[in-house]
């Protein structure tokens, strides 16, 4: 899942207006933000296997430190704890921790059975929505649209930048999503990791948007 996670990030303002959109993006995508780093370090593994599902050619061979349920719980607690240490806002800290955890449960919907429960060899789960491109588009699209709706309802623009930067990000995310779905498989695992690390630019984009919009 890709834009669905950003949909969750967009929805953050509906539940707590104290954190920035960039922070909500970071929480909702945290697992996928650190995964490319683990790939580059050789800690986790992925293989390019066209046809393994209808949506992605990636075979997630080994990624228990980012994508197991236990790891998601631990990362969620750590993320929320760090935010609380900095901001002293319990409600938002808990919400951010839940957003980190939400990543695993949204992935559970789409992944084929490759998501570990624990760190180590054991049961792997996944409902396999990726076996249907149409179903994947519908589910992710609805989550993304709902998140944008909540963000628009919770904020108003301060200036033209607040309007165009938001519209630009929405268009950019949709184009990237479509490109990933219909482009040729990546050339190498290193290329996957490098592109994955570029997601941090989207987090910065979220902070930029929020600086130019006010909550209502």
Arithmetic mean of pLDDT over the chain: 96
pLDDT value of position 30: 98
The C-alpha atoms of residue 136 and residue 117 are separated, in whole angstroms, by 23
The domain of 137 spans: 3-215
> Given the structure tokens 């980012």, which residue do they identify?
66
Q: How confident is the model over 77-102, as a mean pLDDT?
A: 98
pLDDT band at residue 43 using 50, 70 and 90 as cut-offs:
very high
Closest by alpha carbon to 58, among 2, 120, 141, 17?
2
Share of residues in the chain with pLDDT > 70 (%)? 100
> pLDDT tens digit string along 177-208?
999 998 888 889 999 999 999 999 999 999 99
Q: How confident is the model over 74-97, as a mean pLDDT?
A: 98
Structure tokens at 48: 């390019």
pLDDT surpasses 80 at 121: no
Helix 21-28 vs helix 3-15: crossing angle, to nearest 10: 130
pLDDT band at residue 26 using 50, 70 and 90 as cut-offs:
very high
DSSP H/E element including 31: helix 30-40
Residue pair 15/124 in contact (Cβ under 8 Å)? The answer is no
The C-alpha atoms of residue 91 and residue 34 are separated, in whole angstroms, by 24
Residue pair 208/165 in contact (Cβ under 8 Å)? The answer is yes
The C-alpha atoms of residue 40 and residue 35 are separated, in whole angstroms, by 9
The C-alpha atoms of residue 214 and residue 194 are separated, in whole angstroms, by 34
Give me the number of domains the chain comprises: 1
pLDDT band at residue 23 using 50, 70 and 90 as cut-offs:
very high
pTM of the predicted model, to two decimals?
Answer: 0.96
């Amino acid at each position: 899942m890709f834009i669905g996670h950003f949909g969750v990030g967009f929805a953050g303002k509906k539940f707590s207006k104290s954190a920035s959109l960039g922070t909500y993006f970071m929480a909702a995508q945290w697992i996928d933000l650190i995964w490319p780093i683990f790939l580059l370090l050789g800690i986790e593994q992925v293989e390019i296997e066209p046809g393994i599902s209808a949506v992605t050619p990636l075979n997630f061979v080994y990624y228990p430190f980012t994508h197991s349920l236990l790891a998601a719980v631990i990362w969620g607690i750590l993320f929320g704890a760090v935010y609380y240490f900095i901001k002293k806002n319990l409600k938002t800290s808990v919400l951010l921790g839940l957003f980190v955890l939400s990543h695993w449960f949204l992935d559970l919907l789409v992944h084929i059975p490759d998501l570990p429960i624990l760190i180590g060899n054991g049961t792997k789960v996944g409902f396999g929505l990726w076996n249907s491109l149409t179903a994947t588009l519908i589910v992710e699209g609805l989550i993304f649209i709902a998140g944008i709706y909540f963000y628009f309802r919770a904020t108003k623009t301060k200036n033209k930048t607040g309007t165009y930067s938001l519209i630009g990000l929405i268009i950019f995310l949709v184009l990237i999503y479509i490109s990933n779905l219909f482009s040729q498989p990546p050339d190498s695992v290193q290329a996957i990791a490098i592109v994955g690390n570029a997601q941090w630019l989207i987090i910065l984009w979220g902070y930029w948007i929020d600086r130019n919009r006010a909550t209502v």
